[in-house]
Amino acid sequence: MRVRKIKDLSKKLIDYQHLLIEDPKEIKKRFDEKPLELEIGFGKGDFLIAMAKKYPERNFLGIERSGDFTLKAMRDVGELKNILFMTGNIQEIIPLMEENLFSGLYLNFSDPWPKARHFKRRLTYRVLLMSYQRILKKASIVQLKTDSRELFEFSLQQVKALGKTPFDVTEDLHNDPLWSENIATHYEIKFSTKGKKILGFRYRS
Ligand X SMILES: C[S@@+](CC[C@H](N)C(=O)[O-])C[C@H]1O[C@@H](n2cnc3c(N)ncnc32)[C@H](O)[C@@H]1O
Interaction between residue 200 and ligand X (CB under 6 A): no
Active site residue 168: no
Instruction: Report 61-90 residues binding ligand X (CB under 6 A).
Output: 63-66, 69, 89-90
The interface mask with ligand X, positions 39-58, x = CB under 6 A, is: -xxxx---------------
Interaction between residue 147 and ligand X (CB under 6 A): no
Q: Which is nearer to ligand X, 163 or 195 (CB)?
A: 195
Distance, in Å, from the CA atom of 52 to the CA atom of 141, rounded to the nearest integer, reads: 17
Instruction: Report 110-129 residues binding ligand X (CB under 6 A).
Output: 110-111
Distance, in Å, from the CA atom of 74 to the CA atom of 194, rounded to the nearest integer, reads: 28
Exactly one of 8, 15, 76, 111 is catalytic; name it. 111
Nearest to 97 by CA among 139, 40, 152, 173: 40
Residues of this chain that interact with ligand X (CB under 6 A) are: 40-43, 63-66, 69, 89-91, 108-111, 185-188
Catalogue the active-site residues: 111
